[in-house]
Amino acid sequence: MGKFVGKRLLMMIPVVLGISFIVFSILSLTPGDPVQLILGADTEEAVLEAKRVELGLNDPFLVRYLKYIMGVLHGDLGTSYRTGLPVIQEIALRIPKTMVIAFGGIGLSVVFGVPLGLASAIKQYSFIDYFARTLALLLTAIPAFWLGMMLLLKIVLQMKLLPATGANSWKNFVLPVFTLAASATATLTRTTRSSMLEVIRQDYILTARSKGVPENRIIWKHMIKNGILPVVTIVGMNIGVQIGGTVVIENVFAIPGMGAMIINAVRVKDIPMTVSCIILVATVIGIMNLIVDILYAFIDPRIKSQYFGDKQRKHAYKRKEEREEEE
Amino acid sequence: MPEQEIKRRSQLSSALHRYMKNRLAVFGLIVFLFLVFMACTADVFFDYTGQAIAQHMKERYQLPSRAHLFGTDQFGRDLFVRIIYGARISLIVAFSVTAISVSLGIIIGAFAGYCGGKVDNVLMRIMDIFLAIPSMLLAICIVAALGGGLRNLIIANGISHVPRFSRLVRSNIMQIKNSEFVEAARVTGASDFDIVLKHILPNTIGVLIVQATLTMAQSILAVASLSFVGLGIAPPTPEWGSMLSTGKEFMRQYPHLVTYPGLAIMFAVLSFNLMGDGLRDALDPRMKN
């Protein structure tokens, strides 16, 4: 187990380095001078030049990248061009809000989507099935930010049930979380439904029914256990989409999270800020995907034996790989 | 080759038959055709600069009426006309983004899948890196670097969808490249290029069409979101996302400003999604659930 996790964590390093290099070069090698964007176009050339020297922008591209990435490897995310403050400080202030929304959205979508998909598969062609499918179709088509605006309009502005802006109480996070959960709920409902329908058609369900296993036990022990893997995969894949989605949703609800920070940073080409944010997001996504992979092992004993040193199994697996390579 | 022609046509017509039996898919197709028709003939019925761009301050904030079907906005412009012109932008975006990502995806995926080995490894590791950034964030970075505007939005979204297509093409090619008909083609002396282009790619076209339709839906959503946060198409160009963004200020008093553009996005995305689902069921009945 430890070996597997360690290997996966090591594999994340080149990916994160690659991401940082791509984003750093996209922002550095395109026209547009950060200093001019920050100080304004009609600032005197001498002032601009002094700022450039201060930020080290006159160094060649590769030198700047290496300096930055060496800092990151030593735990220093650099200094924001715009505010002059350490990037880590601002991120630490804002990241909790974004994560509350993102993970709240994921949690809520699991709570709604999985039971709905399950019910719609068990009672195929019933009212609940049509309801779930229609809802899923609509929720994938509605843009999240528009749904947010509509909720804001009805619940906050017209019915006055929740406070309008700010990010100090849990009440401010209710609508963003619901908004973000909407499209993920739709994907989860659809995945759960199709995966469960596939399981229902299997012979072992028929066998279980014919030997008189209670329906509840069939659902819990046979269907969910066999059909949940694709659902877990989709939850894992949704994490990235959700974090990307918060950027727009924070804008709708005026929540000062990472989304607003990334947009402000990217506008003035604040490279340390932008690249650090994206490195962080990618790391969070990578770790979550690792957790999903570990979850697989607890759900499916066949995968577990591949990961966690069942020696005989491993040996057989290795032999199979060797045979395949020979072919 | 006449026999092959006949067989292919019959497959196509049976797929068409299956599609037409799917009521939701037909609904999607009708909405799509309506959008295309409106986008193409907008100039016949309306005047772009006069009705969609020019400001008529006397007619501000009118509620929906017979003269202005969806009402007017904060500059007195007819919302219905602006939404019709917005359809034009959304459709251009959807098709060009998909064209970019499909063609780049095919090239990269075909190289990786067919060559295998080191080429495959290098190309797929690069794709993995792109896949590890949420596509929304990647698009934001590219737009910020290149600047806003229609062309750059298309490039940014096109690039952010390439990894998915290249993975799709690669996995399909790896499945097909060892099948007997490819071996037969190789034995008869077909070049690698011919094999990929004439024998392997046509066999992946079904999956690609389905994914392309869904990508169109996603790119409409993505462009609207980018314009909404101010990184896309700037006003006064009638883009749905930027209409929502400017309407947001006044939505408390005039909800119609934000209702109709949002509905337009929803119907456009819905139509592409329904068509994608319908095509998947029609082209590959095994995948139907």
CB distance A157–B251 less than 8 Å? yes
- ipTM field: 0.85
pLDDT of B102 reads 94
Q: Which of A3-12, A155-164, B86-95 has the highest mean pLDDT?
A: B86-95
Q: Is the pLDDT of residue A128 over 90?
A: yes
Report the gap between the CA of A267 and the closest CA in chain B (Å).
6
* Type of residue found at B128: D
CB distance A248–B229 less than 8 Å? yes
Q: How confident is the model at residue A310 (pLDDT cuts 50, 70, 90)?
A: low
Report the gap between the CA of B267 and the closest CA in chain A (Å).
7
- Element counts in chain B: helices (H) and strands (E): 11, 0
| Residue numbers in A near B228 (CB within 8 A) | 145, 248, 251
Least CB–CB distance from A247: residue in B128, B140, B221: B140
Q: How confident is the model at residue B280 (pLDDT cuts 50, 70, 90)?
A: confident
Q: Assess contact for A26 and A61: CB atoms under 8 A.
A: no
Q: Which residue of A has its CA nearest to B267?
A: A141
Render pLDDT for B206-260 as a digit per residue (tens, 0 to 9): 888 889 999 999 999 999 999 998 888 888 888 999 999 888 888 888 888 889 9
* DSSP E strands, B43-103: none
Write down the residue that tokens 């715009």 correspond to: A82
The tally of CA atoms less than 13 A away on the side-chain side of residue B125 is: 14
pLDDT of A120 reads 93
Q: Measured between alpha carbons, how far is A132 from B150 in angstroms, rounded to an integer?
A: 36
pTM: predicted TM-score of the whole model, two decimal places: 0.86
Domain spanning B35-44+85-287 has what CATH number?
1.10.3720.10
* Type of residue found at A233: T
Which B-chain residues 199-238 have CB contacts (< 8 A) with chain A?
217, 221, 224-225, 228-231
Helix (H), strand (E), coil (C) string for chain A:
CHHHHHHHHHHHHHHHHHHHHHHHHHHHHCCCCHHHHHHCCCCCHHHHHHHHHHHCCCCCHHHHHHHHHHHHHCCCCCECCCCCCEHHHHHHHHHHHHHHHHHHHHHHHHHHHHHHHHHHHHCCCCHHHHHHHHHHHHHHHCCHHHHHHHHHHHHHHHCCCCCCCCCCCCHHHHHHHHHHHHHHHHHHHHHHHHHHHHHHCCHHHHHHHHCCCCHHHHHHHHHHHHHHHHHHHHHHHHHHHHHHHHHHHHHHHCCCCHHHHHHHHHHCCCHHHHHHHHHHHHHHHHHHHHHHHHHHHHHCHHHHHHHCCCHHHHHHHHHHHHHHHHC
| Residue numbers in A near B224 (CB within 8 A) | 143, 145
Q: Measured between alpha carbons, how far is A23 from B59 in angstroms, rounded to an integer?
A: 46
Q: Which residue of A has its CA nearest to B221?
A: A143
B136, exposed or middle or buried, with CB in 10 Å at 0-12, 13-18, 19+?
A: buried
Q: How confident is the model at residue A127 (pLDDT cuts 50, 70, 90)?
A: very high
Report the gap between the CA of A136 and the closest CA in chain B (Å).
11
pLDDT of A116 reads 95
Asked if the C-beta of B287 comes within 8 angstroms of chain A's C-beta atoms, the answer is no
pLDDT of A5 reads 85
A321 or B158, which is more confident: B158
Q: Assess contact for B114 and B192: CB atoms under 8 A.
A: yes
CA A84, A88, A92: angle at the middle one, nearest 5?
A: 120
CB distance B217–A278 less than 8 Å? no
Q: Measured between alpha carbons, how far is A226 from A194 in angstroms, rounded to an integer?
A: 13
Cβ pairs bridging A and B (under 8 Å): 130
Lowest model confidence (mean pLDDT) among A76-90, A141-155, A192-206? A76-90
pLDDT of A323 reads 62
Terminal CA-CA length for chain B: 35
Lowest model confidence (mean pLDDT) among A76-85, A296-305, B95-104? A296-305
Helix (H, G, I), strand (E, B) or coil at B190: coil
Report the gap between the CA of A14 and the closest CA in chain B (Å).
9
Least CB–CB distance from A143: residue in B128, B142, B225: B225
pLDDT of A316 reads 58
- Crossing angle for the helix pair A271-299 and A61-73, to the nearest 10 degrees: 50
Lowest model confidence (mean pLDDT) among A153-162, A224-233, B17-26, B259-268? A153-162
Q: Measured between alpha carbons, how far is B61 from B58 in angstroms, rounded to an integer?
A: 9
Asked if the C-beta of B134 comes within 8 angstroms of chain A's C-beta atoms, the answer is yes
CB distance A269–B145 less than 8 Å? yes
